[in-house]
Amino acid sequence: MDPHQPPADRILFDIALGSDDRPAEETLDLIRLAEALGFANAWLTESRGRDVFVLLASAAGRTSRIGLGTGITNVYARTATTIAQAAGTIAELMPGRVFNLGLAASGRGLVELYHRVPFERPVARVRDAARIVDFILAEGRMPPAGPGERAGPRLTLTPMRDRVRIFIAGSSDATLRFIGAEADGWLPVWPSRRHTPEQVATIAEAARATGRPLPDVAGYLYGGLDTDPDVVAATRDTLAWYIAANGEAYRKLFLRYGYDREVGEIVARWEAGDHRAAAAAIPREMLDDCALMAAPAAFADQAKAFVEAGIARPVLRVVRELSADRVAELLTETAGLMRLGGGAPSS
């Protein structure tokens, strides 16, 4: 049996929280709750506020079973060496568990406005950073400075490559081929059930060409129960922002998905200043295709549909607008619907 495709009644189900969405202590409490409920992994995003590695180091000390990870660490904010140092250190703090390192370019606005770094060569930048991190975590030293050069100086860092999995976010063909050839996994945001199979096929083709197994696929699925109007509204608002205000990458992504008319309407309303109308322009078809949004009776089947499309590890991305108490309720109900059990393995 393919280890990335568990039985239909045992989906490896993860959660993702924003490091900036609520006070740090509330975020850590929710990770502890997720562990108790049986979620396989907890991922923390990083944007403009709290340092994700600091939060995850604290979470490592307060949990014992759940896997932890970044989703994502942008490769412009830190050097590849500091990313390797942070990931290796946290892996050392959580023996017996795996640390999931999500890497990506993020968006031009965040990189240039908040980090004051030119948003240049994003695909190459992610590839180069992943290779350096891979080498450092495996060898405990810097890679060669160039072709024909000797390996670089040693770091006082215990090699942790076997306990750190490198996931790459991104959807260009070049990125997908790199994932298949060299990475441990793909971490798509807003994956499409209709188009994921062809994207996974690109990854699989590159993996076969290099004699590797299919990398893991952990997909960020915004949403929750559609019986909660706040969850539905917040998911629509978030998707509208991604399409209209988060740079060109996600706009192009949804155009590739075939939502030309919808994207045009969302962008036009957003740029006219009517953000509520932009969110209202998102049809339910888009939510069904790219979000995990369903009534309780259909929630597990929706998750399984993403698994069948190629998202082996659904990651429920909790919207930031919900209070910690509401998130706790959502996680508890979701765990019951997915038949998760306390003490689930973190692999």
220: domain CATH number? 3.20.20.30
Number of structural domains in the chain: 1
In a domain, 185, yes or no: yes
Q: Which residues of the chain have pLDDT under 70?
A: 1-10, 341-347
In a domain, 46, yes or no: yes
State residue 10's pLDDT score.
Answer: 62
Whole-number Å distance between alpha carbons of 170 and 167: 10
In a domain, 69, yes or no: yes
What is the domain extent for residue 77? 14-227+295-337
In a domain, 268, yes or no: no
Residues in CB range of 161: below 8 A, 6 or more apart: 134, 137, 138
In a domain, 114, yes or no: yes
Neighbours of 305 (CB within 10 A): 16
Q: Is the pTM of this model over 0.85?
A: yes
State residue 82's pLDDT score.
Answer: 98
In a domain, 246, yes or no: no
In a domain, 238, yes or no: no
In a domain, 168, yes or no: yes
State residue 3's pLDDT score.
Answer: 37
Angle (CA) 130-134-141 rounded to 5° is 125
Residues 223, 191 contacting (CB under 8 angstroms): no
Per-residue pLDDT reduced to its tens digit, 188-219: 999 999 999 999 999 999 999 999 999 999 99
- Burial of 58: CB neighbours in 10 Å, binned 0-12, 13-18, 19+: middle
State residue 122's pLDDT score.
Answer: 94
State residue 148's pLDDT score.
Answer: 82
Query: Pick from 126, 243, 238: which is nearest to 183 by CA?
Result: 126
